[in-house]
Structure 1
């Protein structure tokens, strides 16, 4: 029996990463990342650090004056110009187009400083010449007023930012609709009228000439001043069946000629009569 050598029985050490003592830069899919990939692309502006942001040359110049509590009517141009050029030099390395507008203001500051260094000559009329800084001070004060006004306007409640306009929708298209009066409904209403008329029968015999046209006018007069009138209210049950018949025929004739309308809220509901001219208005 041949025993294996002790070298062959040695346990293989576990696999370890090459950089054991290093700190992982990141974790990618659960695995530590000790080195950045060679093909990793970082845009030039990704790590750019922005300093104070200004709206323009006047904004920067006003910031330098107010920050150091300078008198705006006695601007120390040498010190302010030096600080101004330092800021312009910073933005020139990042955005040359943006620096062009600031360079124009820097040239104006240098010009004003040069004019202050020159001897002052009186005008022909004896008046002293205007301070070279006067125009710059006027522009700064005007810009400051506009800037403060913009801040106050921005503090006002703004629609869509601080509050919303209430919106209420009202649907006026749903007008009340009435069911069409069927002949059966008219027949039932007529039977009810006859039943009520029989309760008031009397034995007085009179001869009366009844005109349908006359009772058409009677029905129209009864509808005057009323928006709706019940179907039963058109009939005088005390006058007897003859008057009821003539009034009923007059009502049908008015409905046929379109002078009145018969309406009903729903099936088996009371019938109402209204004037066609009043409904048209």
Structure 2
């Protein structure tokens, strides 16, 4: 977005036009020191004292300004008057800033083209249709630009932090007694769950060895067989006591069979296994 200004007056200043002393008041200050007379042979550029009254942000902004200032109907723009005023402005800025005037010259060419097309006879059109207005595209662009400009002005009018207002801050001296925030039930549950999770990470697993006696289980097997002619092999084991007890009981049966204190029999293959005492008590 290029900003430009309309220079309405300019003057060249010379040392002869400046007073040397006005009521014993310095005409200027140089490095903080008062200056009661201008230096000799001081050069002041011709455009140093230009006064800028209006600023525009592009060709469309200038056109919209000219239309609104002259109270032209934007839907029926008098191209002759508008082009004349626009060219006066372009000639003015072209003398001072040719690079800035390039964008405005492009719009000037468009205005001249529209003005020329309006002087020509309209092209024939079908019956019931209106002839195309050469100004239609320019009017559309101007209306769109005006809407955007108004929207930007409305947004700029909204109070902004740091430009129109600041947040007030005040220091309030509080009591030295600390005030703790309230804790909800959900926060307590989450804290307890976090503690349990940490506890699971540091658990200790202690292994203890249970001392089992084979001889003791041999005596238990003999007592179990007393008074029975046969006892099924599986009935001598109690799974509820755990694997260690089952292993020791099995070893006890093997020791008893080794010492020929019991007999382990089976009628046929895959038939149930039975255990009985190898002697008959008297």
TM band (smaller chain) = 0.3 to 0.5
Please, what TM-score do these two structures have when normalized by structure 1?
A: 0.47
TM-score, length basis structure 2: 0.46
Larger radius of gyration: 2
